[in-house]
Structure 1
């Protein structure tokens, strides 16, 4: 019985982790939510009355996990209001072998995923931070994972109509004109990021401008550990000059830069390492949004508290990276 119970839950773990990560923007918090879901599942099966309520396991687990995430989101608002500088989600970084990325950063079975290509990557998670907890839950469950509004209403303790309204408002926010879009397929991601790396390595401002969208946005999260821009940098010229300044300073101080392509939340990105001017190791994960052949968003995660699961770069990693 115990073995079957564990096997049933493990078959759903990938989907639950994907749901929780989209909602919370933190891999560690997502894993905690999934673990709490497991405890509630085990407790329900020990109670015959509660066990009878589980008619469809996947739906029950998703609803339970979403309720847990909703509680976490409501309490997280206060914590993030006092966050030093800009906030970015904890990235899910997985190796890239040159092939086609998985449909999300860690969910193993493409057949079970309802995530569309333009709803992948760090860009989506950044947009979700604009939403209320109720809007975020409704949007993620319905638009990303195709959960019906009747079940979403159970999570929100509301009506299906109210759940639909939450999702609609979230959808408008997610498609606003100032939101970085990501629609590139893997081949286009690879081509654009290779051009980006070549331009920054050569210091060619014109080449870099050509690979950035006119309204490109750059966000950096140092978590108070490393200096970053206090506000998003918006526009092709400011972003291009900021990026070239970073690489010029690294070269001036003799800092050795190493990098490798990785998948960041399921989208091709970069893992970089160098030495900060004060001698500390600086590790950075950069997620990208690519649309119409240009980079529409760059998301620099430098906060070591959010990179504790980041694997070491291979000894032969170089800059520019090998594609």
Structure 2
């Protein structure tokens, strides 16, 4: 290989590897560690022996992510309050060309994937998002193609009840529903809030012990509606700014002086899940990229208006 070619090859696959590691770990900090270690291993490898760089790098990144995921599970069990994935700017993770790539990046699906064992999660992501044949998944995970097919089947079965139908509302419909939900919460309109929620709705608040947040999920339509309305009634709420996280509409909010990112799981026209990420460690990277993106859009608008 020519000088500099190894780095160039790796950079071609960096977004793919970052997207893979993030889907397996739910953390961009950890995903970046995996990608950096994958690069170091790529640099030390005799690349003349590598026939398919993509397959080699996917294998390395998956195995590294699985090692991290196994150790992270114990840490997450000791986490203060509900653990939620770190929100991301989807643009960091390469194009979302298929429904499967979009679905496996969605916040609700990532949250549900916490129910899976590490091998089940890997088989699900490699098959659904990256369309690997079972024989190739077996080469990554070890075992047989039949075993990997079974892992994938178990994963899809366990996720099916929580995911509901695979088709989500358009971005515009999702954004409108999010705005209606916010307006009802601000106005203390308990009837409207309740009517927007599914009967089995759940609200999660992730403060990670760093800021005040509910330490247990709030379950059931009436309890979620009362919790959200009570929150807006008790604490001053700053201006809400629309944004996009994990490829879907979201809102930046300041509630009681604490910044948070709010996301909804919307299915069949109803809100099934309310996610509030308050842990500043999980918001830092996303906030920086979101601010830069809005600054670029503002500058572009100003330039166009000049």
User: Scaled by the length of structure 1, what TM-score is found?
Assistant: 0.83
Shift in Å, 1:210: 2.1
- Note if 1:302 corresponds to 2:288: no
Instruction: Give the SS at the match of 1:307.
Output: helix
- 2:110 corresponds to which residue? 125
- 1:164 corresponds to which residue? 149
> Equivalent residues in 2 for 1:123-202 (5 A)?
123-177=108-162, 183-202=168-187
- Note if 1:231 corresponds to 2:216: yes
Which one has more relative contact order, counting CA pairs under 8 Å at least 6 apart? 1
> Equivalent residues in 2 for 1:211-230 (5 A)?
211-230=196-215
Shift in Å, 1:178: 8.0
Structure 1 residues 286 and 181: alpha-carbon distance in aligned structure 2, compared to 1, 3 A threshold: farther
Structure 1 residues 177 and 41: alpha-carbon distance in aligned structure 2, compared to 1, 3 A threshold: closer
RMSD (Å) for aligned C-alpha atoms: 2.2
Instruction: Give the SS at the match of 1:109.
Output: coil
Instruction: Give the SS at the match of 1:305.
Output: helix
Larger deviation, residues 131-140 vs 176-185? 176-185
Alignment match of 1:60 (pick from 39, 56, 79): 56
- 1:107 corresponds to which residue? 93
Q: Distance in 2 between matches of 1:19 and 1:64?
A: 11
Q: Distance in 2 between matches of 1:275 and 1:217?
A: 22
Q: Distance in 1 between matches of 2:108 and 2:174?
A: 14
Alignment match of 2:248 (pick from 256, 267, 273): 267
Instruction: Give the SS at the match of 2:161.
Output: coil
- 1:17 corresponds to which residue? 18
Preserved contact between residue 258 and residue 272 of structure 1 (Cα < 8 Å): yes
Shift in Å, 1:52: 3.8
Shift in Å, 1:135: 0.7
Shift in Å, 1:107: 2.5
Structure 1 residues 238 and 275: alpha-carbon distance in aligned structure 2, compared to 1, 3 A threshold: closer
Shift in Å, 1:16: 0.9
Structure 1 residues 245 and 179: alpha-carbon distance in aligned structure 2, compared to 1, 3 A threshold: farther
Instruction: Give the SS at the match of 2:121.
Output: helix
Q: Distance in 2 between matches of 1:294 and 1:153?
A: 38
Preserved contact between residue 237 and residue 253 of structure 2 (Cα < 8 Å): no
Shift in Å, 1:273: 2.1
Structure 2 residues not aligned, in runs of 5+ = 296-306
Shift in Å, 1:155: 2.1
Structure 1 residues 295 and 4: alpha-carbon distance in aligned structure 2, compared to 1, 3 A threshold: same
Q: Distance in 2 between matches of 1:220 and 1:122?
A: 14
Shift in Å, 1:36: 0.9
Q: Distance in 2 between matches of 1:80 and 1:180?
A: 28
Shift in Å, 1:143: 1.5
Preserved contact between residue 121 and residue 287 of structure 1 (Cα < 8 Å): no
Shift in Å, 1:181: 7.2
User: Scaled by the length of structure 2, what TM-score is found?
Assistant: 0.88
Preserved contact between residue 182 and residue 289 of structure 1 (Cα < 8 Å): no
- 1:320 corresponds to which residue? none
Structure 1 residues 275 and 236: alpha-carbon distance in aligned structure 2, compared to 1, 3 A threshold: closer
Give aligned pairs, total. 290
Structure 1 residues not aligned, in runs of 5+ = 95-103, 277-281, 316-323
> Equivalent residues in 2 for 1:88-107 (5 A)?
88-92=84-88, 94=89, 104=90, 106-107=92-93
Shift in Å, 1:2: 3.7
